[in-house]
Amino acid sequence: MTPEARPLLVIACGAIARELVRIKRANGWVHMDLQCLPPQLHNRPEQISAAVERVIEGAGNRYRKIFVAYGDCGSGGALDTVLKKHGIERLPGAHCYEFLAGSEAFRQLAAEEPGSFYLTDFLVAHFERLVIGGLGLDLHPELLPQYFRNYRRVVYLAQTESRELQARAREHAAFLGLDYEYRYCADQPLTARLSQLAEGLRP
Amino acid sequence: MSEEFNGEDIILAELPDEELVAQMHDDLYDGMADEIAEATRILLGRGWSASRVLEEALLAGMNIVGVDFRDGVLFVPEVLMSANAMKAGMSILKPILADTGARPVGIMVVGTVKGDIHDIGKNLVGMMMEGAGFEVIDLGINVEAASYIEAMEKHQANILGMSALLTTTMPYMKVVIDAMKERGIRNDCIVMVGGAPLNDEFGKAIGADVYCRDAATAVEAAKQFMARSA
């Protein structure tokens, strides 16, 4: 580690970049640097671990601590294998829905209806690109029933209280032919974990 | 029916067998269900047996799709379109194959585990297994251990296939395997597991026999098992 090493680098999924910037500003964590990876990896989880490792190795010894703001995110343990090798921690849980909602709240949602399709602020805003385009429904709309026939509801796990996003989320649910449910989560579950980390490294 | 290739119409019925089969491989790859159904009828009309059409045209074509999916050339939407095209051909062949009275190569019970509702991969495996001559008992989604065991005993299954897409639901596969051990039926069949977040290491850790990264691997593993146990 170099003497002028920065205190903290958070490597994050681009799908939660806005939330992380907001939390960083609100808490005055100027000692925390943020590097985000393309949110499209949400649809290509097998590529996450290699992408994260490239950033870790690129950071070299310029940071006292590196933290990864991903869940397992469908990598099937591959991300954890990489992080163990480098001695780096990540957010707890299987995916962003879990750490944005909070683990207990998410477990309850999944248990009460396994057929829940989750949206976040980011996914509501980029639904056309990441969900419709990501699943190829723009080219093959006839595949919609194959993808969604077992789902019963859309649950919008909101990070902000936005009437516009709520209206769009409701439209997305209607497009998918699913019931709609709104849960306002704010940034609290994510802030709680990052606080433990960032406050301890405050210069 | 005609298709366009480099600005020229292709009349399927005018193609000789070899070219028609090659065209079917292309049409499967491109997910063209109507063309696959037509070509299937043409080959049957030319005296091909249903099993030959299935093996040389449909399964061989889907194997190409499977390889390109594995290698990241094709993605889920394209594979679904291909599978739908294969289904169009299978729906014509199935009644004919059933009439032959041939015994199934083996019996597979398959389902997506409790808490999980994702069935695209599971359905693809079921279709490819049926195509390879297995009887497939599909329990659907959100399947509890007791339901797997009841079906395995009822149908005297040779193979259990479990699928999961979620990191949170894949551990339930071990619950099922442990329940099989308790019931004393673990060694009566092979257990195959699959799903996007799984890997070989996970399969071994929970005591499964085979981790299948795709439908083609599942079919190959099932065939090998049946050959060994014959």
At residue A164, the pLDDT reads 98
Counting DSSP H helices and E strands in chain A, the numbers are 10, 7
DSSP bridge pairs for B211: B193
Q: Which helix (H) or strand (E) holds A151?
A: none
**Interface residue B70 vs chain A (CB under 8 A):** no
Number of neighbours of residue B219 by Cβ within 10 angstroms: 24
| A72·B201 Cβ contact <8 A | no
Written as six digits, the tokens of A78 are 């591959």
Q: Of B84, B97, B75, B109, which Cα lies nearest the Cα of B222?
A: B109
3-state helix, strand, coil in chain B (%, to 5): 60, 15, 30
At residue B102, the pLDDT reads 80
| A146·B120 Cβ contact <8 A | yes
Of B77, B141, B197, the CB nearest to A76: B197
pLDDT exceeds cutoff 70 at B92: yes
One-letter amino acid for residue B88 of the chain: A
> How do residues B191-230 score in pLDDT, each as one tens digit?
999 998 899 999 999 999 999 998 988 999 999 999 988 7
Q: What is the mean pLDDT of chain B?
A: 93
Residue whose token pair is 């249903």: B50
Burial class (CB in 10 A: 0-12, 13-18, 19+), B51: middle
> How do residues A150-182 score in pLDDT, each as one tens digit?
999 999 999 999 999 999 999 999 999 999 999
| A114·B142 Cβ contact <8 A | yes
Compute the distance between CA of residue B213 and CA of residue B203 in angstroms, rounded to an integer. Answer: 11
Q: Of B72, B210, B120, B172, which Cα lies nearest the Cα of A45?
A: B72
φ, ψ for residue B47, nearest 5 deg: 95, 5
**Interface residue B118 vs chain A (CB under 8 A):** yes
Between A and B, how many CB-CB pairs are < 8 A?
A: 57
At residue B4, the pLDDT reads 66
At residue A4, the pLDDT reads 81
Q: Of B96, B107, B176, which Cα lies nearest the Cα of B137?
A: B107
Kindly report the pTM of this predicted structure. Answer: 0.87
At residue B181, the pLDDT reads 97
At residue A188, the pLDDT reads 87
At residue A202, the pLDDT reads 83
At residue A157, the pLDDT reads 96
| B80·A146 Cβ contact <8 A | yes
Residue whose token pair is 């071994």: B204
Sheet holding A116-120, edge to edge: A116-120, A153-158, A179-184
